[in-house]
Structure formats: structure tokens, C-alpha cells
Structure 1
Amino acid sequence: MRRISYILLLGILLSACQKNTKSEGTNLPVEVISPIKKTEIGRSREYTFLSRPYNETVLSFRINGPVLNFDLWPGQAFSKGSTILSIDNRDFLIRKQQTEALYSQTNQEYKRIEALYKKNNISGSNYEKAKADFLVAKSNYETAVNALSDTHLSAPYDGYIQNIHIEPFQDVKATEPILTFIELDRLKIETYIPEEVALHLYDKEKQKLCQVGIHFDTDPERTITPSDLYVSKSTTNNNLSYLLTAIIPNPDMEWLGGMSGILSIDLPKEERSQNLWLPLTAICHRPQKGDYVWVVKGDKVNSVPVKLGEQRNNQIEIVEGITENDLVVLTRQRFLSENSTVTIQK
């Protein structure tokens, strides 16, 4: 009898716990906030950057051989067309002289037979053989000349050695990386921007309505105006932002690659008038759904997709999706589902 009573009591307690749990799940206490509207007239959007060389090229030889005159250092300057490094050219010089002699001989023989052929004093087969020998000798000679020229590794533009990938007097292979060469007469300033900013910079005409300034950390008070701006036409690998590339002249080598700074963008006034901001904790994200927030209407909650903008500390800009009168849930979002009943905590 006692055992039956104990089982009945346990059943009553379990039933009560289930009832309380269900009640809490359907009437969840949450904290809410209304989006803050900020006036942004005259404000600059700022993005960090690292400068990069305008060109960066890995140079290699087109032939095999041991390298000579290996007196190179990172940072060493070379003008366009000047020789940076050479391969021992003795074998290539001999090959060029041999093919040149044969080319000269077959050229003279071909001209002699061609003159006889035009006078019908020699058969067509002899003429065709002389012509073929001449063309083969010419091709071999030109190949030898090119190979001799390829013993020199020349600078493709005015620039500097960045990295050296081989050892002194190493026997290198064709296409093996020899050194990295960079151009610093101009610099690339690269940073990532959200889509609402990209829409104002991807077109040359729209760029005229914006003001873009470059500020290096070593001289933050100085503003450099880029000569060209380019925006990627699709999002980068993170699928959230666009790559902005600004080109700045650097003829006097005032700046180096890898220097940090701030890129500021002043958007047209009508695009900066008023923005809504929320704490980062209010934003939810699911891969299949994207960014969204929970909005309370009456005593029910529903998820609302939002488009995000700039982030500042623990606040983030809401470009579209909600209004300033909406009540956005700040706490316990992971316990919510569509049309859940909630109680707003004061």
C-alpha cells in the first residue's frame, strides 16, 4: 500500500514539474530595447588598412644553369630593364655561335639554289630541300639567341627586391622562383567595406559624390587623396563585405608596403541622415536564415530579417528590416520560437 502511495506521489510531482516548465516556455520573461536613431550628417566612416606594393612579382629564369654575380639584398633597387642576376652563359654562347655559323651557311646556299631554280637550272626537290635546311637553321639560331638573352634576369619595372628564394651560386631550374620584386612608385590601399558603402563607390560617377582620404598612422593629421578607386563586384570569401582598393602615388618613397592607417569615407549627406543602431547582443544569425532579430508585438515574438551596416564597439548599424518603434528582444533569444508568448521585464 505504501509503495502504491509513493508511486502516486511521484507521478503528481512529475506532472507538476512538466506543467511549470511548459508554462515558463510559453510565457518567457525577456528584456527589450528600441533601436536608437542617430543623426550622421558630416560623419566619416573609417576602416583600417595595410598598404601594399602596387606590383609584386615572383621572377624566375626560363632556362637551367648556375647563377652568377650573387650580390643581392632585400630592399636593393633596380631600374626597369637592368640586370638583377645572371646564369653562367658560356654554354649558351657556344650554342649561339654554332647555330649562327650554320645559319649563315644555309642562308648563302639557299640563295644560290633559289637563283638557279628561278632560271630552271635545278630541280624543285633540291630547291625545297635547301629551303627547309635554311628554315631549320634559322629557327635553331633564333632559339639560341633567345636562350642567351634569357641568361639575364631583368627588372620588369622600377622597383626593389623583397625576398630572395635561392642560395648563392645555386644551380637553378627553369621557372624556379628566384626572387620577389615589388613596385613602390604607387601603393595599393586595401580594406573591406559593407554593401551600402560599396554601392556608392563601385561606379566612377558615384565616387565623385564621396570624399575618400588616406591617413597613415605615422602621420595621422595628413590626408592623402587616392588617384583611383576600385571596388570588387562581388563579396569576398567571408560573403559579408566588398574589397575596396585605393591607389595612391608614392614617387618620393614616403610610404612603404605594410604600413597601417585609416581610410575615411564621407558619403553623400542624404545617405547619412538617420540610422538605427542596436547592441550586438540583439543580433541573431543562422546560416540558412542570415541575420535577424526577435521583435515583440503585443505578447508575441517573431523573427525579422535585418541588413547590417557599420559596427562601432558593441553597437551595430541596422540598414533595413526594423523601425525605431519596434521592441527588440535583448535576452534569452535561444529559447524563443515563432509566436512564442513573452513577458517584457521592466
Structure 2
Amino acid sequence: MRSITSLAALAALLTFGVHPFAAEPLETALASYHTLPREYRLDGVVEAVNRTTVSAQTQGQVQEIFYDVDDFVEKDALLARLKDTEHRARVNQAEADLKSATARLQQAKDEHERVAGLYRKKNVSDSAMDKATADLASAQAALDAATARLEQAREQLAYTEIRAPYSGIVTHRHVELGEIASPGTPIMSGISLDELRVTVDVPQSIIPAIRRSHSDAEQKPLARVYLSGGEMIETSKITVFPYADLGSNTFKVRIDLPTQPGDRLRALFPGMFVKTSFIVGEKSELTVPRKAVVHRSEVTGVYVVGTDGGVHFRQVRLGRALPDAYVVLAGLTADERVALDPIAAGVLLKEQVQTRIDAAGENGHD
């Protein structure tokens, strides 16, 4: 008789969703349908926006090399220096020519003023005045030419110091000490990790949807790049190349990553493969909160709470991961309630099972 009374009380408690051994109600949420962006996933390759090979702009022997492969270089840092003896001699020569031209110009000015004074007094002929004017113009032209030669010589001298165009990492060193570098000779190659982007080969069947989304975007996310650890970057800055590859009939799409990524993109390096997706529409999908999902070895499931308060472990098949939820492909239906605290739900399930076992034992004993 006592066991029958206990079972009746247990049934009454479970009917109202309260377990007799639970310290507090179990927090739950409903599995429900939501309108989500429809994604098309592809592999992409990370590349550096700034990737440069610095070359020599003048001729000279490589005298000093200050950096090597894998070294970090600040912007405007001196990478290498060419022997500048000949270039300095040309600068000195140009400076001397400039001084000579300046002196000749001053002499021509003085002569022009003297002849002009005599010409006003009708003491010299027109031809003498014309010659003085021509000499002054010639001296001025000579000064301008000497100034230009000096600027050119100084620029050639500056080219003997090869500097970094931006901060980055050296990837290749193309010369050795003592080699003769000519204009166009590669000196060093490097990349910058401050600005990265992802290039993706997209099938032509998806390009129209991407173009439509891009035209109607209004700064909404068009592409996603998935990082390690489940993190994701959304961006609307994409570029669709206006031509297809003849061999694969795919269009190249470039996804620009944030210029100030912080810690999230420190694990990305040029040449890496990453998962990407493009928003090509919308669809309704069944979702459950992330914290309701349990991963046990190779089994993925949720604790379903019935209307009678009973807890059941249900294996599910998940789709893509969202920031705070998972898409459920199989195993659940809409409006089923799942526990948000799997640990507490597991404890409650064990207590329910033990209670049923004890109740069945007492009933059999009676």
C-alpha cells in the first residue's frame, strides 16, 4: 500500500514538471525554426595585401645587408646598402658645376646691367645689347641644368640605400655581399601581416546570387571566414573578378579582412587554407542553443524535457554552427523543450531512473 502511495505522489510531481529530488527547476528552451542566411561554403587561401620585391634602382656593389629571411622589418628601415663611392663623386662634381654656373650667371648679370646702362645712353649698338641679353639667358639655362644634374646625382646616391616600403617580414633574400646590382635587380622580398585578405574560386552558378546580395547588401555581411576554435569573421567587403578562369570556369572572389583584427587573426598567415562561406539567400532552419548540446565521445545529443517533467537523452545530427546556436538536421522537432544545463539534466535523469528502479522493486516486493 505504501509503494502505491509513493508512485502516485511521484506521478503527480512529474506531471507538473517538478522532480521530487530537484533543488530548483530545470532551465529549458524550445527547439524552434528561425530564418537564417543560406550559406555556400568553399575553401579559400589567405594572402597578404602588401607583398613586394624590393629591387635596386641604381648600379653598385652590394656592400652591406642588414636583414635576412624571417626577420621583422620596420617601415623605412635600411635593408641593404650599395657601394656609393662613384655616386658621391658625381654629387661632388654636380655641386662644383652648380657653383661654376652660379658664378657665370652672376657675371652675366653684371655684364648685362653694364651694357644696358651704356645702351640707354646710346653708347653701345643694338647687337651688343642683344649679345648681353643672350649671354644672360644662356647663363641662367646653364644654372638650371647644373641644378637638375645635382638633384639627379643626389637621387642616385639615395638609391644606394635600399629601404623597406612598409613594416613586414622578409621572405626571400636575392643577393649576397659583393654582388653587382643593376637597376631592376631583386634585393629582398617581404610581406606585411597588417592587412590580409582571402581569395576563393567560386563556381559560376553561385556568382549571380553573390552579385545580387552585393548590390542589395547595405553593409550587411556577405561573406564569412571561419577561424580555428569556432570563431567567425563577417564582412561585406568583397570583390568579384569580372572574368572566369578558362580551365575551371570559376570566378575569383576576394574577401578583405579587417585592417585592425586584434587577437582573432594572429593565427592567420599568408598561404593558409581557411573555410569561407557566402550569403546567397535565406531559409528556415531548426535550431537549439549551443549550451544545450552535449558531445560524448562520438555521440552528440541533447536532454529533452517532456511535458510530464521527464528527462530523456536524445541523439541529434547537427548542421552548421551559429554564434549562439546549432542547426539541427535530425533528431528533434519544433517546440520540443531541451535542457540548457546538461550537467543538471544528467543528474536529474539518473535520479529519475533510480526512482523508477526503486519504485519497481518495492512494487514487486509488495
TM-score by length of 2: 0.57
Counterpart position of 1:286:
none
What pairs with 1:96-107 in structure 2 (closer than 5 Å)?
Answer: 96-107=91-102
CA contact (8 A) 2:62 2:82 kept: yes
1:205 matched to 2:205 = no
Counterpart position of 2:14:
none
Task: Give the Å deviation of 1:184.
Answer: 1.5
Task: Give the Å deviation of 1:69.
Answer: 2.2
1:268 matched to 2:281 = yes
Distance 1:63 1:146, change over 3 A: same
- For the pair shown, the structure with the greater C-alpha radius of gyration is 2
2:62 to 55, 60, 67: 67
Counterpart position of 1:44:
39
CA contact (8 A) 2:222 2:236 kept: no
Task: Give the Å deviation of 1:226.
Answer: 3.4
SS of the aligned residue for 2:81 comes to: strand
SS of the aligned residue for 2:232 comes to: coil
Structure 2 gaps of 5+ residues are: 1-34, 117-128, 286-366
Structure 1 gaps of 5+ residues are: 1-39, 274-346
CA contact (8 A) 2:46 2:272 kept: yes
Counterpart position of 2:27:
none
Q: RMSD value over aligned CA atoms?
A: 2.7
1:175-232 deviation line (CA, Å, top 9, x unaligned)? 111121212201120011123432243474334465421113xx15010223621110
1:57 partner letter: T
Task: Give the Å deviation of 1:41.
Answer: 6.9
Counterpart position of 1:140:
149
Counterpart position of 1:238:
247
Task: Give the Å deviation of 1:165.
Answer: 1.4
CA distance in 1, matches of 2:113, 2:65: 56
Distance 1:41 1:141, change over 3 A: closer
SS of the aligned residue for 1:189 comes to: strand
1:159 matched to 2:165 = no
CA distance in 2, matches of 1:190, 1:107: 58
Counterpart position of 2:335:
none
Task: Give the Å deviation of 1:93.
Answer: 1.3
Distance 1:139 1:111, change over 3 A: same
1:86 partner letter: R
SS of the aligned residue for 1:93 comes to: helix
1:278-331 deviation line (CA, Å, top 9, x unaligned)? xxxxxxxxxxxxxxxxxxxxxxxxxxxxxxxxxxxxxxxxxxxxxxxxxxxxxx
Task: Give the Å deviation of 1:172.
Answer: 1.2
- Among the aligned pairs, what percent are the same residue? 16
What pairs with 1:46-195 in structure 2 (closer than 5 Å)?
Answer: 46-118=41-113, 120-121=115-116, 123-195=132-204
CA distance in 2, matches of 1:159, 1:226: 24
CA distance in 1, matches of 2:146, 2:98: 5
Distance 1:223 1:239, change over 3 A: same
CA contact (8 A) 1:210 1:267 kept: no
SS of the aligned residue for 1:162 comes to: strand
SS of the aligned residue for 2:195 comes to: strand
CA contact (8 A) 1:202 1:232 kept: no
Distance 1:206 1:164, change over 3 A: farther
Counterpart position of 1:257:
270
CA distance in 1, matches of 2:75, 2:114: 52
1:229 partner letter: I
2:231 partner letter: R
SS of the aligned residue for 2:68 comes to: coil
Distance 1:76 1:182, change over 3 A: same
Distance 1:115 1:79, change over 3 A: farther
TM-score by length of 1: 0.60
CA contact (8 A) 1:67 1:88 kept: yes
Distance 1:262 1:109, change over 3 A: same
More moved, 108-117 vs 144-153: 108-117
SS of the aligned residue for 1:157 comes to: coil
Higher helix residue share: 2
1:224 partner letter: I
